[in-house]
């Protein structure tokens, strides 16, 4: 078991994919214009248009928090609101970035199983807000995480219904796709079918968790929404001077579909892990649809696994769950052996 | 002359130093904790403490705009003001980033030869602001660029006087060191002598222009000032999940003083360039002290050089200057031959 | 019944108390210094110190939203959070004012019967937020409404426990006292006992609903917290040039305890109204403790009353309540006859 | 001379006009809807439409700082800029309110005699800003003070040229009319001719300095620009619940042209004062066009007048002026005797 990868903390503990490192090396010669006026950045636009089979405006930034917050600030006025799930990363893990970037807009947090929003949840809060007139912030967008914070994936019809409801209410639709690749690998449809064809207006296309060094793309499927994005990005210090090195990461993952192979691999390992845990009586608290496994585990087992050097987070349990819950995240750089080693350690504890 | 580097646009058109690329490759294996809890980031702190010979708190970000704006937001309340030169990068080139990050603080722009502020310039505006009471924003910091936007370098006594004046007025001292290495190479003193020993409280330590991919460090010499920085950085989306790749860039430049060798090399090329231009009757509008040459050139010569494939910017002329002015920037990756090719092209035009 | 006051919409539909109008007339002669440097404003400080029997810093503004948002912005950094009830006025009725004034801080909304927070509710969210480190906004204050949005009043021991819990967690305690007079009239204790002796750090002392034209005071019981308030107020356009007319309103209400007589009167009318409704089988959904009555009413009765010219709002029903709920607000300018007319109209409908 | 008004500090040291007080008393009965849904507010719109002879959207707020900052925030994005005179009240006296309200937009301060901007001054800075692309904030509006901070009045043709230049550059035109009445009294044209017929898009219509208690109106001559204003006003705490008392002040001044009579009276007194000073050899540093007199006075005379109980401010001298400069402001509530007393005191000093 020596040498096995023992961290299931998050997909961002992984290193950078060799193809991405190679791309950085490949572009590392000579002078090119800075601040986005370089061939790699031009090519990024082309690759994304090809990938999503449509016209679009796309901008690279280094982090998911920046991608989400800048996207939302472009969609929502300071006196506006974003409807999202109460467990949404933008609501719980970004230290108020959407509020900061928007100039004080509000997140209106809604409940929902699997950290999913349903189409029927939007009309009520929006009607209430509008009935309040100037006394209430104005809902202007809905943001969904795909895959969700419980590792679930919106089906295309769920998403299409949600978007239709949102648009019917005058809300733009943002997708936090920090794990968009993992969601798409589960859906087995085209990127277009999973986004703009389902009504998504703006996508935070995640790459860092999927093999990049530090790169995400904000993709506007309605380019007219993007007008102010570039100024906001610069003003936030998220426009790289040596932009080729940001775009090249994304290009390396987009080319030949590496991003999807990475995501499919991570998903398959999560499924393997879930099945292995199941064989040893470990109960999942959510179905596994992407690359995250949420399992209820006795505290003694958690302690045993930590003692064996495995790293993973205990997770806030869903309502009604009495056992400790852990989150196990697989990634593109893991091997089946890494997962099997974890399962073996679980088995070892069970056998005692 | 084929193959020579023909862009004198900026030091950020350069590629990444091979040592930095090697460092990225070297750290690219295995899992490490994310968000700054990794060995490279720990080492960054140690290297900076060694470099500056003092206790300090340091935080890496990807861009100079982020470094400056986050540093200033930490020093200045929303109802505060930053005194700076009217040509300061923070005032002219960052799309209002300091205003955004601080929540609407104001830059109070002052004139000064060579884009330098003088110690005697501070008391007047501060006294005026304070006499205005609640009707005026409250000066809370002074920001100096080292090297300045005219390629000049504050001497240590100039800086010490300025800092003493600032501190005497209750202002913190921030240094925008996008080209700090170039300034230090000119000063030929220790990093400590050029910063905190001269009263600098916070330094934006630039590395991107000096060979990094995308990395700057915000260095607080009074760690108690840094309290809020980490939350502000996260909230701004400037905390990388794969933080090792940000810190490793800085470490590669700090180790063994590579950053200073780079800066000295660039400075020497700028001096060589200036001397070469002088031999052909081209007049400098500023003495060359770092890696930028500002020269008055006839429009015909400018056109000739552009036609030869040389890239550089025409620059707003200083008051009283009637000839077109150009900015020529040298960098760590240039060779003497690149500079000589430029001089030869000037000579060629003169000979016609 | 001709001439009876038929609006139970809110206490802010009332006119200005004659004593307040007289005070405005009394100060309306001669020149005085502007922007707070006037005798009425000096006297306001003295009257509040006398009223609250302690040293304090107090600042007048024209609206409750301004009072709350400016107070909270002084207590909470942009990357901070305010714990409050999910029904708190600051969370639901101020169009994001706290978020705007603080530069994007977040309200962490908690549930609770009667729109009250309990001491035991604070530790969990604060511990969670702190465990999240830089990924989560930092709780910095708790805000309570006294009386609450369900017309309830925190008992002194409830408040003392809540404040002790808050202070133990490093949170400042803000009280939205838009109806502080009504709460105090219910508590029958001194203003000091109901505020700083129970751990309140900052009070938005409401006067507009209680007979003023447009005046509230932000009262800092820990004057050192007030440092930045004056600059924030000016910057927000809430510093009146003719400040005497703002302070004089508050002074007129404070002098001789007019504010408390107003509040007691309104409370007595609310109790009378509740009792009258009870005699006709109308069920209250909250006990009446201040000047608001929340009653479950059949839709037909609501329609009947509206048809009779009575004005009042239907209100979002509490969880589990199936009948329509209405809010009836009494005020200082109402007479017993106004309340009796309403009860008579209810009786008339019942008799049909 | 006993009883004469001795403060020439500002027009805001004056009391409230009796007609305004009477209007407050007149509306002070019965209940009306709050938050702007009242007859006085409806009437305000009608009176302003009549006054300006055009369709418009108008909103009342209590202070000039609020009026200006809210107006500008509606016109300019956070990454935008406002061109204004370096002495503009918004730039020097509002503690950064425009920066706060806009979310960090920048004021681009321009020089100009008499605190006036000229049409020819706009193109250069706008072209520079646009050439800088994303690196520079985007000019979106120009703001002029009418009368200016040097007590000067833009002629209609000056204003029309300036507006045409602004509109040609895509900038909206805002007028800070804290002393609009005084400017209009000087221009002797209709309010329409002095505003929208000269290209003004939004006017901060000042009333506080002209006899109100605390009231200004933000007047949008292009109502489509006003869309977001109401939400911004509420969010800033500038929407009064008892809105009738805000609108009634403005209505009292608008009715029958009281505002213009007040302004004409104050202007006439300023002219009388200037002429009297001239007879005693006191030199003006600006022509008197509105209700402010800026005069160069020996320090001994300043001291003498202060010793006599006259109040006025020493003022930053214009470039090249070596003598102390004072500002003397007249107001609607002054009498000729007040001015004559001041002149007599000057004469008394001269005679010594």
pLDDT at D350: 77
Cα–Cα distances (Å) from B339 to B1, B17, B274, B300, D229, in that order, read 11, 19, 10, 20, 57
Distance from C-alpha of B48 to C-alpha of B57, rounded to nearest angstrom: 9
In a 3-state reduction of DSSP, which class is residue A295?
A: strand
Q: What is the pLDDT of residues A21-72, one digit of tens each?
A: 999 999 999 999 999 999 999 999 999 999 999 999 999 999 999 999 999 9
In this structure, is the dihedral angle defined by the CA atoms of residues A169, A171, A176 and A180, taken in order, positive or negative? positive
pLDDT at B225: 86
Q: What is the pLDDT of residues B70-104, one digit of tens each?
A: 999 999 999 999 999 999 999 999 999 999 999 99
Cα–Cα distances (Å) from C119 to A6, C154, C158, in that order, read 41, 11, 7
Model confidence at C1, pLDDT cuts 50, 70, 90, reads very low
- CB burial readout B118-143, b (16+ within 10 A) else e: ebebbeebbeebeeeebbbbbbbbbb
Q: Which of A69, A77, A100 to mutate to test the interface with C (most CBs of C within 10 A)?
A: A100
Q: Which of B57, B78, B100 to mutate to test the interface with C (most CBs of C within 10 A)?
A: B78
Cα–Cα distances (Å) from C241 to B9, C207, D143, D289, D345, in that order, read 52, 20, 22, 23, 28
Contact present, D71 and D204 (Cβ < 8 Å):
yes
What lies within 8 Å, CB to CB, of C16 at 6+ separation is C211, C212, C213, D24, D28, D242, D245
Distance from C-alpha of A198 to C-alpha of A165, rounded to nearest angstrom: 12
pLDDT at D3: 60
Nearest-CA distance from D72 to chain B in Å? 14
Q: Which residue of A has its CA nearest to B231?
A: A95
D235: nearest CB among A79, A231, A235: A79
Question: Could you tell me which residues are beta bridge partners of residue D33?
Answer: none
Cα–Cα distances (Å) from B285 to B274, B328, C205, in that order, read 11, 12, 62
The beta strands (E) that lie in chain B are given as 57-61, 80-85, 106-110, 138-145, 172-177, 202-206, 216-220, 283-284, 292-296, 313-315, 325-329
The beta strands (E) that lie in chain A are given as 57-61, 80-85, 106-110, 138-145, 172-177, 202-206, 216-220, 283-284, 292-296, 313-315, 325-329
C106: nearest CB among A93, A96, A137: A96
Model confidence at C2, pLDDT cuts 50, 70, 90, reads very low
- The string of DSSP codes covering D34-87 is STT-SHHHHHHHHHHHHHHTS--EEEEES-HHHHHHHHHHHHS-TTEEEEEETT
Q: What is the pLDDT of residues C82-101, one digit of tens each?
A: 999 999 999 999 999 999 99
Q: Residue C140 belongs to what H/E stretch?
A: strand C138-145
**Chain A residues within an 8 Å CB radius of B240:** 62-63, 214
Residues of chain A scoring pLDDT < 70 = 1-3
**Chain C residues within an 8 Å CB radius of B239:** 134
Q: Which residue of C has its CA nearest to A99?
A: C104
**Chain B residues within an 8 Å CB radius of D76:** none
**Mean pLDDT over each residue of chain B, to the nearest integer:** 96
Model confidence at B350, pLDDT cuts 50, 70, 90, reads confident
Model confidence at C352, pLDDT cuts 50, 70, 90, reads confident
DSSP state of D211: T
Residue D227 CB: number of other CB atoms within 10 A? 13
**Chain A residues within an 8 Å CB radius of C77:** none
Helix D258-279 and helix D180-187, axial crossing angle in degrees, nearest 10? 80
Q: What is the pLDDT of residues B259-296, one digit of tens each?
A: 999 999 999 999 999 999 999 999 999 999 999 999 99
pLDDT at A234: 98
Q: Residue C142 belongs to what H/E stretch?
A: strand C138-145
Nearest-CA distance from A92 to chain C in Å? 6
Checking if the pLDDT of B2 tops 50, the result is no
Q: What is the pLDDT of residues C202-221, one digit of tens each?
A: 999 999 999 999 999 999 99
B242: nearest CB among A208, A241, A245: A208
Nearest-CA distance from A97 to chain D in Å? 15
Residues of chain D scoring pLDDT < 50 = 1-2
Q: Residue C328 belongs to what H/E stretch?
A: strand C325-329
Nearest-CA distance from A127 to chain B in Å? 30
**Chain C residues within an 8 Å CB radius of B77:** 228, 231
Q: What is the pLDDT of residues A68-97, one digit of tens each?
A: 999 999 999 999 999 999 999 999 999 999
pLDDT at A351: 79
Find chains touching chain C: ≥3 CB pairs under 8 Å.
Answer: A, B, D
Q: Please report where in the chains the tokens 């927070």 appear, as a residue.
A: C117
In this structure, is the dihedral angle defined by the CA atoms of residues D177, D181, D184 and D185, taken in order, positive or negative? negative
A135: nearest CB among D135, D228, D234: D234
pLDDT at B235: 98
Nearest-CA distance from D320 to chain C in Å? 31
> Considering only CB atoms, which residues of chain C are within 8 Å of chain A?
78-79, 81, 92-96, 99-100, 102-107, 128, 132, 134-137, 316
Helix D244-254 and helix D39-52, axial crossing angle in degrees, nearest 10? 30
**Chain C residues within an 8 Å CB radius of D64:** 237, 241
pLDDT at D319: 85
- CB within 8 Å: D105 and B93: no
Contact present, D336 and D270 (Cβ < 8 Å):
no
Strand order in the sheet with B292-296: B283-284, B292-296, B325-329, B313-315
Find chains touching chain A: ≥3 CB pairs under 8 Å.
Answer: B, C, D
**Residue B125 CA to its chain's centroid (Å):** 25
**Chain C residues within an 8 Å CB radius of A104:** 96, 99-100, 102-104
- Per-state percent for chain A, helix, strand, coil, to nearest 5: 50, 15, 35
The beta strands (E) that lie in B112-199 are given as 138-145, 172-177
How many C-D residue pairs are in contact by the CB < 8 A criterion? 168
Nearest-CA distance from A39 to chain C in Å? 35
Q: How large is the average pLDDT for residues C145-152?
A: 98
């Amino acid at each position: 078991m020596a040498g096995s990868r023992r961290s299931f903390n998050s997909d961002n503990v992984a290193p950078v994919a060799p193809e991405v490192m190679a791309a950085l090396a490949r572009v590392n010669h000579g002078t090119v214009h800075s601040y986005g006026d370089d061939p790699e950045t031009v090519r990024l636009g082309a690759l994304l248009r090809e990938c999503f089979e449509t016209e679009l405006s796309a901008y690279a930034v280094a982090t998911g928090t920046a991608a989400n917050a800048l996207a939302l600030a472009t969609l929502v006025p300071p006196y506006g609101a974003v409807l999202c799930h109460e467990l949404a990363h933008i609501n719980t893990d970004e230290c108020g970035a959407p509020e900061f970037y928007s100039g004080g807009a509000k997140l209106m947090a809604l409940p929902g199983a699997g950290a999913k929003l349903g189409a029927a949840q939007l009309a009520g809060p929006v009607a209430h807000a509008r009935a309040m007139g100037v006394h209430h912030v104005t809902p202007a967008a809905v943001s969904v995480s795909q895959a969700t914070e419980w590792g679930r994936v919106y089906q295309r019809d769920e998403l299409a219904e949600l978007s239709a409801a949102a648009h019917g209410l005058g809300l733009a639709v943002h997708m936090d796709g920090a794990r968009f690749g993992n969601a798409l690998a589960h859906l087995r449809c085209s990127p277009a079918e999973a986004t703009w064809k389902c009504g998504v207006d703006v996508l935070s296309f995640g790459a860092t968790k999927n093999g990049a060094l530090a790169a995400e793309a904000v993709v506007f499927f309605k380019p007219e929404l993007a007008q102010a994005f570039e100024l906001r990005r610069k003003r936030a210090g998220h426009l790289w001077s040596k932009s080729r090195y940001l775009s090249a990461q994304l290009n390396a993952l987009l080319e030949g579909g590496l991003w999807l192979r990475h995501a499919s691999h991570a998903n398959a390992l999560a499924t393997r892990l879930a099945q292995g845990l199941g064989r040893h009586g470990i109960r999942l608290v959510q179905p596994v649809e992407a690359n995250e496994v949420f399992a209820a585990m006795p505290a003694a087992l958690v302690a045993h696994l930590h003692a064996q050097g495995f790293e993973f987070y205990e997770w806030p349990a869903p309502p009604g769950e009495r056992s400790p819950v852990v989150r196990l995240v697989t990634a593109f750089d893991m091997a089946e052996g890494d997962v099997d080693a974890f399962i073996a350690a679980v088995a070892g504890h069970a056998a005692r």
